[in-house]
Amino acid sequence: MNEQAAPNVGMIIRELRKRRGMSLRALASGCGLSINAISKIERGENSPTVLSLHRLATTLEVPISALFQEEIVEPTIFIKRDEGLRREIGGMIMQSLGSGLPQQQLEPFLITIEPGTRRENNPVTHYGEEFVYCLEGNIEYHINDEIYTLSKGDSLIFKASQAHYWNNLSSRRAKAILVFQASQAKHLLHQHSGDEV
């Protein structure tokens, strides 16, 4: 398997911040994370969660996929199997399935969720829409007060302004295609309980 090296997300965040002339304080104020938390992410001392990536990308006015790439690629993207950039985040592996288009609107990922991974303490809301297609295993998706159990071949599409989170309560690894509508300026991701970096 010819897999690309994972990008230095902290370095990319620092570069994007400096290009926009933003101080750590300004970025922290915009995304709701502490200055110390962002500083640790930029130095590579802490790995950001999906929630934090959303918040940082929104404040920096870039799609979340921009945090996975170190340089702009061509307007047509072709990624061979298992060669997308990957990031491990709290019991989950996110693999980008395509990024780099100018003003890209869709952010597709292959997510692999380890057995027993729970996210119920981190419900989120964000701008736009979200699409999930289960490839294998079982994923329990909570959207507002409704629970949807996805098995192979099942899918969900919903307005992401609704509080949502997922669990893999089974003993098997789960995989799914996850597509976000790209972040837009002035639409911050909100977490409904606790702030996790």
Write the burial class of residue 39 (CB in 10 Å: 0-12 exposed, 13-18 middle, 19+ buried): middle
The top-scoring range by mean pLDDT among 6-10, 67-71, 107-111, 117-121 is 107-111
Query: For residues 27 and 154, what is the distance between their CA atoms, to the nearest angstrom?
Result: 38
pLDDT at 185 over 70: no
- Provide the angle, in degrees to the nearest 10, between the axes of the packed helices 9-19 and 50-60: 20
pLDDT in tens, 93-152: 988 888 777 667 888 999 999 998 888 777 888 878 999 999 999 999 999 989 999 999
Length of the chain (residues): 197
pLDDT at 68 over 80: no
The number of angstroms, rounded, from the C-alpha of 55 to the middle of its chain's C-alpha atoms is: 10
The residue that leads in pLDDT, 98 or 174, is 174
Query: For residues 44 and 46, what is the distance between their CA atoms, to the nearest angstrom?
Result: 6
Is the pTM value of this prediction over 0.85? no
CATH tag, 1-197: 2.60.120.10
Whether 170 and 138 have beta carbons less than 8 Å apart is answered as yes
